[in-house]
Amino acid sequence: MPEGDTIFRAARTLHRALAGKTVVRFTTVLTQLDRVDIDTPLVGRTIESVEARGKHLLVYFSGDLILRTHMRMNGSWHLYRPGERWQRPGREMRVVIATDDFEAVAFLVPVAEFRTAAMLERDPALQSLGPDLLDPDVDLAEAVRRLRERGSMPIADALLDQRALAGIGNIFKSEALFVAGISPLATVASLSDDALRALVQTARQQLAANTRDTLEPQLTPWGGPRRTTGSARRDGRLWVYGRAGAPCRRCHTSIALVKQGEDARLTYYCPKCQLATSQASTRG
């Protein structure tokens, strides 16, 4: 599933390409979108802005119309010049928003719906989101408070709960926990407030570091290789994610892999660097 950094980069790139431009063609295979387009056509509207909220991508059109999409596991937005060959099969297209200069194509997006501003304010999918770690004005204290409410939950599962804090996925869950020295098996209740604050700040720094400011010509599901170690080597970019059985980059212990939560999401960690009791201190 694309994580918050991917959606952030996608929204930024789409905004730069489309904002202020007029829609010259709108195509969709989704009945719920096509019905709105027939009643209130998209062609002729101005694309006002594109923004990310957690893992949701919002396209704002003039006339109080907003397209909300969520990528889930396989969805992605691509950006092409008119006439440029798509990098995905046409059968995977779900939405096309075209201007004179660009063609934005959503492939395999499982969630796509139009909303007005008033409807968006009441949308439970957005209103239930916790603080977005890529928001420059994010309230980190509120993120810690929401995590604290998930007392008996393993911290790895709590980090993926978008109602606690928005933007973290499987990769940054594992990477942030490693850097913070916290076992993914530790419950939230066992962690001090200082440990939770440091963890949230670490995750925020890692996400922000992977939203490099470039205009990418094409948007793919992952948007390029992530880095959390600072290394540019192909085999040295991540601390633990995807490295089960490989030696820890710090202590050389074999990286462990565990499935957690109802969806059996994979978590990678170092059993030595991330001792289950290492952060089980009195709450600060």
What is the set of active-site residues? 2-3, 55
Neighbours of 215 (CB within 10 A): 9
End-to-end C-alpha distance for the chain, whole angstroms: 34
- Alpha-carbon distance of 97 to 100, in angstroms, equals 10
